[in-house]
Structure 1
Amino acid sequence: MPSSATERRVLRAPDRLARAAARYAPDREAAWMLRQPRELRRSFAEEAFGRGETVEQAWMLRQSDEVREAYVREVLGL
């Protein structure tokens, strides 16, 4: 199982590497995040990753409508 430090490095990795890693992600949410632009992944890594579900939810609520709608569609399937 990868460490938090390794996961954080993958979140900050160049798009090509993160997209390749998305194929091996353990769930739809992780795969979705790894397919996002590097700046969004970097923001998540710095502001929310590893800080608990409440912080992650707050981070998502602060994102653009486009990002939130993509999450609902692609991760939640709604």
Structure 2
Amino acid sequence: MTTLTLQTEPLAVDVAVTATVLRVTLDDGRELSVPVEWFPRLRDASDLDRANWRLIGRGEGIHWPAIDEDISVRGLLAGHRQTRAA
């Protein structure tokens, strides 16, 4: 049996957030889509605050300054979620 290993670090290049979905486009062409419900601070934020994001580092993560939320690409790929607001 073989094990899949990452040859390169997955990096975000674009982000879109609606009231229901967080969608992240990666530099290799993949798109991740997860329920915004996984991230209560993002879920409860205004549309304006959801749209105000920046990439962390080279795209290893996403930061929303108005709500102090940080989400890593690696965490999204692993299926990590925040179950309640901190």
TM-score interval (norm. to shorter): 0.3 to 0.5
- Which structure has the bigger radius of gyration? 2
TM-score (norm: length of structure 2): 0.31
Name whichever structure is richer in strand by fraction. Answer: 2
TM-score (norm: length of structure 1): 0.33
